[in-house]
Amino acid sequence: MGAARAAIPIQHWTQASGAQVWLVESPSIPMLDVQIDFDAGSRRDPATQAGLADVTALMAGKGVAASGGLPALDENQLGEAWADLGADFGASAGMDRMGFGLRTLTDAALLPQAVALAARELGEPAWPEAVWQRERQRLSAAIAESRTRPGTVAALAFAKAVYGDHPYGYETTPESLARIQIADMKAFYATHIQPCRARVSLVGAVTRAQADALVAQLLARLPQPGACAALPPVPEVAPLAAGREIRIPMQAAQAQVLIGQPGYKRDDPAFFALLVGNHILGGGGFSSRLMSELREQRGLTYGVSSSFDPGRHAGAFTIGLQTRPDQAGEAVRLARQVLAGFVADGPSAAELQAAKDNLIGGFALRLDSNRKLLGNVANIAWNGLPLDYLEHWNEHVAAVTAADIRAAFQRVLQPDRMVTVIVGATP
């Protein structure tokens, strides 16, 4: 890891606006990747307007308003302007954050233009009403179509059962979209997308001084409130009180099975024990215990996996598989059995060593491009992780013991209190 240590010095500072900046200078390629994150993900959606964060991110890229002598650009003109620069800029929203991404060459003729255009798109969206009416129709049709797919039906039922009333479990529907107007997007944007709330990650061929100036310019067209008011707290995900099985009849070639519960928050001190443990249980592909038992030994499925999705709140722990409709009951019983055994006893010494070797051996692949490195730096920025997090990642993995995994899994998971969703099983 010595070379990796030398290669990833992360600089961090806070601008006068309150924006926080993380930078990795990477001068070997004349490129710049930027990610700007705000606490504006779907956990901030009102209960009656599920999908607001998503559509706000979508519509923010549908044109820019005229200002300061610069003409308005509609979505087509904006797309052409980005194509002319050989750069791209876009927004998306996840459960916790709304992120804006810029990728551009650092060529002296192109970089200032790309930053100027990104600043306009970020700070002065046009919010065209006619485009929203079109997009709302398109999204509503896509939702209706997706509900004919067993995988979607299973995922929706699972999210509702795991998260209850928590925003992580909100379902975007044609009805919730119908309640969202342009005025709601503008208000959501004005509240959440402010320089003082920005966490900006940069990887590329720029110096600290250049990065500081770029970030200031990118955020300059946003409103600059004198004080950054705290956003209201979002409640935690409630633990499940009892196990449930939800069977949904549906004609399908393969039954869809999801088993799980709320997992853990990203700031859990046992993060690495849970990461390594899940790799052994069902996150490590063909070498995982679930895969070995359900596919290799019993032939019940082509693939089965387990995952955690930690965020600002406890994201779901999920075991997912597809199987023949007539084998769904057997597959569920065996998956539950494997899980309960793993939670009770933890991994074997051989499983633990193999998982560590695999994770440590694959670590370099997490950092082998500027875009991947940016994702890691943004993860550090968003989660408030130490600047040397990547340098010590392998050490943290190597230090995990079987006892650590057993203790963490027994604290986080309750196999007898999980939700099981089965779509398309033979009665």
**Domain 9-219 CATH assignment equals 3.30.70.260:** no
Summarize pLDDT for 403-427 with one digit per residue, the tens.
999 999 999 999 999 999 999 988 7
pLDDT in tens, 52-66: 999 999 999 999 999
Above 70 in pLDDT, residue 1? no
- Do the strands 20-25 and 31-38 form a parallel or antiparallel pair, or are they unpaired? unpaired
Let me know if 389 is exposed, middle or buried by CB neighbors in 10 A (0-12, 13-18, 19+): middle
**Mean pLDDT, the chain, integer:** 95
Q: Which helix (H) or strand (E) holds 157?
A: helix 150-163
Q: How confident is the model at residue 220, as a pLDDT?
A: 97
Task: Examine the pLDDT at 2 and tell me if it is beyond 70.
Answer: no
Strand 31-38, strand 98-105: pairing: antiparallel
CATH superfamily ID and name for 244-423: Metalloenzyme, LuxS/M16 peptidase-like (3.30.830.10)
* Whole-number Å distance between alpha carbons of 373 and 395: 19
Tokens 């990650």 belong to residue: 201
Q: Which residue has the higher pLDDT, 4 or 30?
A: 30
With contact defined as beta carbons under 8 Å apart, do 135 and 128 qualify? no
What are 300-332's pLDDT values in tens digits? Answer: 899 999 999 999 999 999 999 999 999 999 999
Percent of the chain with pLDDT over 70: 98
340, 341, 364: which is closest to 418 by C-alpha?
Answer: 340
The Cα 182–Cα 388 span in angstroms is 42
pLDDT mean over 170-191: 98
Q: By CB neighbour count within 10 A (0-12 exposed, 13-18 middle, 19+ buried), where does 242 fall?
A: exposed
**Which pLDDT score, from 0 to 100, does residue 5 have?**
42
pLDDT in tens, 135-151: 999 999 999 999 999 99
304, β-bridge pairs = 321
Where do the structural domains in the chain lie, given as residue ranges? 9-219, 244-423
Do domains 9-219 and 244-423 share one topology? The answer is: yes
pLDDT over 80 at 98, yes or no: yes
pLDDT band at 7 (very low <50, low <70, confident <90, very high): low
Q: pLDDT confidence of 73, banded at 50, 70, 90?
A: very high
Q: Tell me how far apart the alpha carbons of residues 131 and 85 are, in angstroms, rounded to a whole number.
A: 24
Largest pairwise CA distance in the chain: 69
CA–CA separation, 114 and 118 (whole Å): 6
Residue-wise pLDDT for 357-380, tens only, equals 999 999 999 888 999 999 999 999
Which pLDDT value is given to residue 224? 84
pTM: 0.95
